[in-house]
Amino acid sequence: MTPRWICLAAVALFGLISVSAQAATIQVTIDKLVFVPAEVTAKVGDTVEWINKDILAHTATATNGDWNVTIAPKQTSRLVVKKPGTADYFCKYHPNMKGRVVVTP
């Protein structure tokens, strides 16, 4: 019979060395009508965060219609990505502003 303290030590040890996957936050800054960086990579479950430094409102609108995020002036908005794939996006108010989110499983 294994002593109780050995079992508890094994549980503690495995708990310390186990790797838990945590969602990340990927930041995109909006400054002077530009998404920076223009392309980001995320994993399913990660959050893309747009930080608007402009005095104008913007959107991050997926060209495939999957999502539309409104970002007020001097504010931050977020989106949790839910499926893998590549999503090009743009600002509805300033269509020359373009970006891309590449989502891996």
pLDDT in tens, 67-83: 999 999 999 999 999 99
pLDDT score for 1: 54
pTM metric for this prediction: 0.79
How confident is the model at residue 21, as a pLDDT?
72
Going across the sheet that includes 25-30, the strands are: 35-36, 25-30, 47-52, 76-80
Amino acid of residue 65 = G
- pLDDT reported for residue 7: 43
pLDDT at res. 14: 45
Question: How open is the CA angle 39-87-74, to the nearest 5 degrees?
Answer: 60
Query: 77 and 25 in contact (C-beta within 8 Å)?
Result: no
**Domains defined along the chain, listed by start:** 22-104 (2.60.40.420)
Q: Nearest 5°: phi and psi at 5?
A: -65, -30
Predicted local distance difference test score (pLDDT) of residue 3: 56
pLDDT tens-digit series, residues 10-69: 444 444 444 447 999 999 999 999 999 999 999 999 999 999 999 999 999 999 999 999
